């Protein structure tokens, strides 16, 4: 199978839609400033969150800055978002090479795209945002030292919606071998903690204190677990691809690990992939959402 990161981001839209904590989202809706609002999303991928917030009705008049370090994601977004707009009854125009306008009779959102490392972007001292979004991203960063830098992007009393922060539980069912399953899960989580670029396999629970220490007030928090399971032997939308991509993360992270028997791991991956193909695998990842105020 050929793996495409933009397709993975597309495939997980429906997974994220189910996972995002509604209590935290309702708290965001009740506190979001009056239009127009300025939004910065870092690690924003292909712009699926901007599309989601248009679908969910949060965006009316806004400037939305999409920041991502992968040019492939930015290029894909500039093509995909107009296609999404066409299918969802929005009009659109390409204002500049790196800017789109999505609008209808009641909504007008300008989306600007920046390809940059998040900390390089911070150093450009961009205009501060009313709302800062980090979606499935904080658990990839060095913590807690990254938070004050990220909050420098937010206006005083501005909001930070910090979603899908992994929190140390991965479940794959049915069990293949309890001992091997547990070993693979533990080594996979450890690989997150040992990434040279930073990361934390328990970032969700740690953010309660990290946010407080960074001078932010937590306005709402709740779980946002990924739960993917087959119905009548089939996965909804493109979620089988999503599951294959998750297993690819396992393979990339653990192949050649000195504590893991290579044949046992290869056989485990083969069996898990067969479970996806046969519509048998259930996958759960425990995560946390936060709404905080600077």
- pLDDT tens for residues 159-216? 999 999 999 999 999 999 999 999 999 999 999 999 999 999 999 999 999 999 999 9
Q: Cα 201 to chain center, whole Å?
A: 15
**Domain annotation for the chain: domains and CATH numbers:** 5-293 (3.40.50.150)
Alpha helical stretches, state H, 178-224: 178-193, 203-213
Q: Model confidence over 93-143: pLDDT tens digits?
A: 999 889 999 999 999 999 999 999 999 999 999 999 999 999 999 999 999
**pLDDT confidence of residue 1:** 78
DSSP-derived secondary structure letter, 128:
P
The candidate with the shortest Cα–Cα distance to 186, out of 256, 253, 141, is: 253
Task: Report the sign of the C-alpha dihedral through residues 30, 31, 32, 35, in that order.
Answer: positive
Give the helix/strand (H/E) hosting 102: strand 99-103
In terms of C-beta density within 10 A (0-12 exposed, 13-18 middle, 19 or more buried), how is residue 27 classed? buried
Phi-psi region of 111 (alpha: psi -120 to 50; beta: other; left: phi over 0): beta
Question: Is the pLDDT reported for residue 35 higher than 90?
Answer: no
Phi-psi region of 164 (alpha: psi -120 to 50; beta: other; left: phi over 0): left
Question: Is the pLDDT reported for residue 42 higher than 90?
Answer: yes
pTM greater than 0.85: yes
Non-local CB neighbours of 254 within 8 Å, separated by 6+ positions = 184, 187, 188, 191, 260, 265
Q: Model confidence over 228-277: pLDDT tens digits?
A: 999 999 999 999 999 999 999 999 999 999 999 999 999 999 999 999 99
DSSP-derived secondary structure letter, 202:
B
């Amino acid at each position: 199978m050929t793996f495409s990161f933009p397709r993975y981001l597309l495939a997980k839209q429906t997974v994220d839609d189910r996972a995002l904590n509604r209590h935290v989202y309702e708290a965001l809706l009740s506190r979001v400033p009056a239009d127009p609002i300025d939004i910065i999303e870092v690690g924003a991928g292909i712009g699926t969150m901007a599309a989601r917030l248009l679908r969910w009705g949060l965006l009316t008049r806004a400037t939305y800055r999409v920041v991502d370090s992968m040019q492939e994601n930015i290029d894909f977004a500039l093509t995909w978002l107009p296609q999404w707009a066409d299918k969802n009854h929005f009009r659109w125009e390409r204002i500049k090479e790196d800017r789109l306008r999505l609008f209808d009779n009641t909504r007008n959102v300008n989306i600007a795209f920046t390809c940059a490392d998040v900390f390089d972007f911070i150093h450009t001292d961009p205009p501060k945002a009313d709302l800062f979004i980090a979606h499935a991203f904080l658990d990839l960063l060095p913590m807690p030292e990254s938070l004050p830098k990220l909050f420098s992007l937010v206006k005083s009393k501005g909001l930070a919606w910090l979603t899908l922060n992994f929190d140390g539980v991965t479940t794959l069912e049915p069990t293949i071998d309890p001992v091997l399953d547990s070993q693979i899960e533990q080594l996979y989580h450890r690989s997150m903690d040992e990434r040279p670029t930073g990361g934390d396999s328990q970032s969700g629970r740690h953010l309660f204190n990290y946010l407080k220490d960074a001078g932010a007030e937590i306005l709402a928090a709740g779980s946002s677990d990924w739960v993917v399971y087959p119905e009548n032997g089939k996965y909804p939308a493109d979620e089988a691809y999503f599951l294959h991509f998750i297993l690819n993360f396992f393979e990339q992270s653990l192949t050649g690990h000195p504590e893991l028997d290579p044949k046992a791991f290869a056989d485990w991956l083969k069996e898990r992939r067969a479970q996806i193909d046969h519509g048998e695998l259930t996958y759960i990842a425990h995560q946390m959402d936060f709404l905080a105020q600077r």
